[in-house]
Amino acid sequence: MITLCEHKKINYYFICIYAFLLFIQCVSDAERKNPYDPNSAIYKDYGVIQGTVYTLYPPYQPLADVKLALEPLASFTYTDNSGQFRFQNLSFQDYSLVVNKQGYAADTCDIIVTNKQAEINHDFYLNGLPYFSDQVLNVGHISRWWPTDDLYVLNSEISVNDPDGIADILNVYLIIPGFQFQDTLSRTSNPDVFQRLFTINQIPVNSIHELPGYEIVLKIQDRPGYFCTSQPKFISRIVEDTPLTVSPKGLQIVDSRPHLEWVQFDADFPFTIQLDIVRVDQGINTIIWSQDGIPADSTGFRVDESLVLGTYYWTVTIEDEFGNWSRSREASFIVQ
């Protein structure tokens, strides 16, 4: 015979079993709204890769029209005006994202898309590559009183730039591969211009006349270590003859606007003439007047500015169409 207490206990067990079965049925019939749940009706078997492409240094600026290629899909896109990009509907696998923009170093990133990380954000910071704005390479021939032998110099003056700013330029090199020679140019007072005069004793040759025919290349290095190399250059001409001064010279006394005269220079190539006046003050030489672009058939020119009292010397230089030049010996005079 079942007691009242045992009857209540049996009813309690039946109620618990019924409630559990009802819960199981409700759970099995519940709508699944998790997109990462494979049993969900809105389950999405794809991922997203997105991000922004910036400049290398702060304050970071977004870069538009950057091409991004996604391998192995051979799919690509471009950044918008805000530097943003997006790849979507990607299956869960390994990808390589290759970034390219003209004037910038390429970048690559390997990305794994999994169903636990279906939306991946990745930003890029591209290094702007240095480049040449202008290149000057020529040979100078200098006649002088002392030492008595003529001096030849290899002159290189380079204007450079960089999307990340001039401060990103670390070095500019002049290289002569045929002589295994490399040396740096010096930054001038203009921060984007590098220049240097190489004398023969600074280059592993016995004479400047050994250089024609050999390649000369210029190379820029930025701070991240990327290089920009110029096309090969060659010495176009060595001007062998030097112009001759006529008057004034030998500490001749002149007025404040002297008339400079020189021997007419003959050459079988086009050239122009440049005049320079240097003031000598307690051993310090300072160029105080110059005039270039004087016609080749000229033999005289009057200084168009008044010079103060003092000691001076002047030179006449001829320059061909490639910038190669030849300079006379110094001719001294006194303004009194």
Flag whether 163 is in a domain. yes
- Structure tokens of 315? 């030179």
User: Are 321 and 269 within 8 A, CB to CB?
Assistant: yes
Flag whether 24 is in a domain. no
Residues 292 and 222 in one domain: no
CATH number at residue 208: 2.60.40
Q: How far apart are CA 314 and CA 332, in angstroms?
A: 6
Residues 307 and 327 in one domain: yes
| Band (46; pLDDT cuts 50, 70, 90) | confident
Which of 126, 147, 171 is the last residue in one of the domains? 126
Residues 320 and 251 in one domain: yes
Which of 229, 263, 289 is the last residue in one of the domains? 229
Residues 122 and 142 in one domain: no
Flag whether 269 is in a domain. yes
Residues 100 and 137 in one domain: no
| Band (282; pLDDT cuts 50, 70, 90) | confident
Domain that holds residue 136: 131-229
Amino acid at 46: Y
| Residue 115 pLDDT | 76
Residues 222 and 140 in one domain: yes
Q: What is the pLDDT of residues 73-98, one digit of tens each?
A: 989 999 999 999 999 999 989 999 99
CA-wise closest residue to 142 among 134, 150, 131 = 150
Residues 224 and 186 in one domain: yes
Query: How many structural domains does the chain have?
Result: 3
Residues 121 and 135 in one domain: no
Flag whether 18 is in a domain. no
pLDDT of residue 198 exceeding 70, the answer is yes
Residues 209 and 290 in one domain: no
Amino acid at 219: K
Query: Does residue 248 have a cis peptide bond before it, meaning omega lies within 30 degrees of 0?
Result: yes
| Residue 16 pLDDT | 55
Q: How far apart are CA 116 and CA 121, in angstroms?
A: 14
Flag whether 74 is in a domain. yes
Flag whether 308 is in a domain. yes
pLDDT of residue 18 exceeding 70, the answer is no
Q: How far apart are CA 72 and CA 92, in angstroms?
A: 13
User: Are 227 and 132 within 8 A, CB to CB?
Assistant: no
Residues 166 and 194 in one domain: yes
Which of 229, 253, 282 is the last residue in one of the domains? 229
Residues 111 and 144 in one domain: no
CATH number at residue 291: 2.60.40.10
Flag whether 120 is in a domain. yes
Q: What is the pLDDT of residues 99-134, one digit of tens each?
A: 999 999 999 999 999 877 678 999 999 999 999 999
Q: What is the largest CA-CA distance in the chain?
A: 150
Residues 161 and 223 in one domain: yes
Report pTM.
Answer: 0.78
